[in-house]
A and B are shown apart, each in its own frame.
Chain A
């Protein structure tokens, strides 16, 4: 079962995501901020991280940098960004930092699921 780490400081969003992804047979872990996310990612080495950008303490960009620098995560872990940030420059920045996809909030659950499965199938 693929491991997915959910990172967002909004519990209600996490809740909806967690429910949907679990139902689709993914193993789900949850982090409430960037710091927690980095620690969990290093420990678990998930197949995928679904990451928010605007979070207290350590933001999504920093988390991306960490993931990229970490040897064991660099190759095995992919990232999808989910953010309310709309600007093209934000998208560019996230992609250049190694994110595989950028999904703007409010997102469609179906689209998110498609992206997740696509990424995980192509990169088993």
Chain B
């Protein structure tokens, strides 16, 4: 994942094209939330790389409070 992050940052011209988010329960001030992200998609179409990242957000009781899915375009 570190190498992947460096590749994205070095590319420049990264554009966030779409975002999904689902919220299951409110988060209160002072709570600690853990975000876990994984690569959900990585494909090249029409000269651009489309990368999708899926993230889960859990509270201290390990209950899922939200999820998010981001799609970014990285120049090839």
- Report whether chain A binds chain B: no
Chain B residues with CB under 8 Å of chain A are: none
